[in-house]
Structure 1
Amino acid sequence: MSYEQVAWARRLKVKHLESFLVLDEAGTLTEAAARMHMTQSAMSHWLADLEELVGMPLVTRGRRIQLTPAGNIMKRLAIGVLGDISRTQLELGAVAAGRRARLHIGSVWAGVARGMPQALAGFQAQHPYISVTVSESPFGNLLEGLENRQLDVVIGSLDARAHQARLEHRELFEDNVCLVIGRASRLWDAQGPVRLADLVDENWIMPPKGTLMRSQLDAALLDSGAPWLLPKVETAAITTLQALVHQGDYVGVCSGAMAEYQAALGNMRILPLDRTIRFGPVGVVWSRDNPAEAVRLFVEHLVRTVGGGAHAHAQA
């Protein structure tokens, strides 16, 4: 794009666009001037100046002004530019008031499945000018993001890693570890509880080593008398798990919250077991050094909508 093509826009002022929109809405120069608290001659000047910049008439004068085709194009420009300015002003006001205009949230599968999307939608309905970025990852990775300030809030398992001096947390709900299968599994029609020890030779899709879910499952396998087993696939991605259980005879491992969510959608079935494998409490964690108002607002909303008023825990 050459300089000559945009030269007129470089001389364009917000006052041009504001006056033009008011004129279109008012219908007459007299009424538009009154709304803009200026004289009719001043309003005429702004219109003439804008038409000179554009290089063609924008309105047809009569009892009530009418927009020309060029006028309609300029109206779209005015609405877009003034809308952007208005939204920016609201965001700047939020920053000036100590609220961050962007919130970075990290979550494990359980948080994504149970309540977080609904809570997030409700939160943004109340605070529409706080944009949100959501990441899914194992809890250890999320805590690293919290430490290096890439994340503002983390939803995950409240194990010892959440009880650090610089972190605060609130419990949301208790969760379990579940085994899931797809229609390609020979166990799809299994009735009654299945013994965990009898599943050793299955094709396992398991969470990566070092995750709490993997540790809890390994402990349950050991307690059931099952020997150490080698998973066919290790993944932290629910999309990979979901796709694989429909392609082959696999047994997958995921949080109870995610398993119930996927089962309700008909995407997979929870394999009934002869024991409960406890995952532990799932909660929201944030840095006590983060002063952003958006963090406080989101945590309060999340606890209210997902945690049902769970008690607060803070590490002194």
Structure 2
Amino acid sequence: MIENGAGISWARRLKIRHLESFLVLDEAGTLTQAAARLHMTQSAMSHWLAELESVAGTPLVVRGRKVQLTPAGHLLKRLAVNVLGDVSRTGREMNAVAAGRVPRLNVGSVWAGIAGGLPEAVGAFQRAHADVAVAIHDGPFDNLLKGLETRALDAVIGVLDARAHQPGLEHEVLFDDHVALVVGQGSKHWARSEALTFQDALHEQWVMPPPGTLTRIQMDAFLIEQEASWLVPRVETASLAMVQALLHTGDYVGVCSESMARYQASLGLFRQIRIDSSIRFGPITVMWNREHATATLRDFIGCLVAHARAER
């Protein structure tokens, strides 16, 4: 199959029709059934298979009551699945571009946005735009904004601050959020029946976001108000997966957005600690660059806003 070390000379005679028909043969199991599905005579089907094996330079099936793929046949099947999948996907993307849409959106979001309706908005959007892939990137807001500046991201969901008012940017407020204190199933307080309070957790092991993040800034300010600025976290992480793992397996107290706390509590993973005064996180907003806003992006933003309003 490989000639002159190039590995592709045999494929120059290969056609898309060859690959489509080969997958039909593999699924049908017999030349007769494959011929019927392809509206061919069995003689024409046999001729086609001989032609394909001539192109490949090796037998592709073992003939019998039911055809069986040879090792080379399995390799050609893998090629057919990959190539036809790429062709189909590219066709959908080209149709989207021809219709004035984009085939892919890159969206960045802080945890609060993910817990506050982003998955539901993606689902609603893709029911109307089945040909558009959506890539979600999570992380600290500052990092996501850099992605928006470099056009690596089409939109960013984060906390509304002065940066949302930069020239060229547009934004829509989705909902207001707060900072929450939580424990997981690894906490000794998990099974207690009465409500957990801040005083209950004050001397526990804490997991907090890294210094400089908005959640940490707000949390540090709250600790000063509570005369507990001496509290030092045992673990600092920006990874939600790490927070989940620590709270599930260890005796820790975690800090996250209230929307994320409610979402995790609905899954039975977190339990929220009651605090007497709320720790404001800020308005969660979606931001995008006005000059680069496609019709597809605006439809996606519309789904975000519609879901947020419905939740309110």
TM-score for both structures, normalised by structure 2:
0.76
Worse-matched range after superposition: 297-306 or 72-81: 72-81
Going from structure 1 to structure 2, the CA distance change for 1:222 and 1:69 (only over 3 Å counts) comes to: closer
Aligned partners of 1:195 and 1:88: how far apart in 2? 54
* Aligned-pair CA distance for 1:184: 3.6
Bigger mean CA offset, 75-84 vs 115-124 = 75-84
SS at 2:263 equivalent: helix
1:7-43: CA deviation from partner (whole Å, max 9, x where unpaired): 443212345567889999995799669xxxxxxx9x9
Q: Partner of 2:103 in structure 1?
A: 101
Q: Separation in 1 of the partners of 2:210 and 2:57?
A: 65
CA RMSD of aligned residues (A): 3.9
Q: Structure 1 307/153 Cα, relative in aligned 2: closer, same or farther at 3 Å?
A: farther
1:143-154 alignment runs, 5 A limit: 143-154=145-156
Alignment match, 1:281: 283
Question: Which one of 218, 225, 228 corresponds to residue 226 of structure 1?
Answer: 228
Offset at 1:222? 2.3
Which residue, out of 241, 249, 253, partners 2:251? 249
Residues 287-306 of structure 1: pairs in structure 2 closer than 5 A:
287-306=289-308
Tell me if structure 1 keeps the 8 A contact 2:21–2:38: no
Gaps of at least 5 residues in structure 2 are 26-30
C-alpha distance in structure 2 between counterparts of 1:75 and 1:136, whole Å? 37
The aligned counterpart of 1:169 is: 171
Matched with 1:194 is 197
Alignment partners' CA distance in 1, 2:287 and 2:47: 58
Task: Give yes or no for contact 2:181–2:255 (8 Å, CA) kept in 1.
Answer: yes
Residue 140 of structure 1: aligned partner: 142
Contact 2:196–2:272 (8 Å) recurs in 1: no
1:127-185, Cα deviation, whole Å (9 max, x unpaired)? 23322222211111111111112211111111222222221111111211110012443
Q: Which amino acid aligns with 1:194?
A: T
C-alpha contact (below 8 Å) 2:168/2:290 kept by paired residues: yes
Q: Is the 8 A contact 1:154 1:285 kept in 2?
A: yes
Distance of aligned partners of 1:286 and 1:19 in 2 relative to their CA distance in 1, 3 Å threshold: same
Q: Is the radius of gyration larger for structure 1 or structure 2?
A: 1
Q: How many residues align?
A: 297
Give the TM-score, by structure 1 length: 0.75
Kindly indicate whether the alpha-carbon contact (under 8 Å) linking 2:247 and 2:254 is maintained by their aligned counterparts in 1.
Answer: yes
Unaligned runs of 5+ in 1: 34-40, 59-65, 311-316
1:69, distance to aligned residue in structure 2 (A): 5.7
CA gap of 1:21–1:228, structure 2 versus 1, over 3 A, is closer
- From 85, 90, 93, the equivalent of 2:92 is 90
Contact 2:110 2:157 in 1 (8 A): yes
- The answer to whether the 8 Å contact 2:189/2:196 transfers is no
Matched residue type, 2:3: Y
Aligned to 1:215: 217
- In the TM superposition, what whole-angstrom CA distance separates every residue of 1:249-308 from its partner, at most 9, and x where no partner exists? 322100111111111212121111122212121121111121433322211122222343
Deviations 1:100-131 (Å, cap 9, x if unpaired)?
Answer: 22221111111122221222233233323322
Partner SS for 1:308: helix
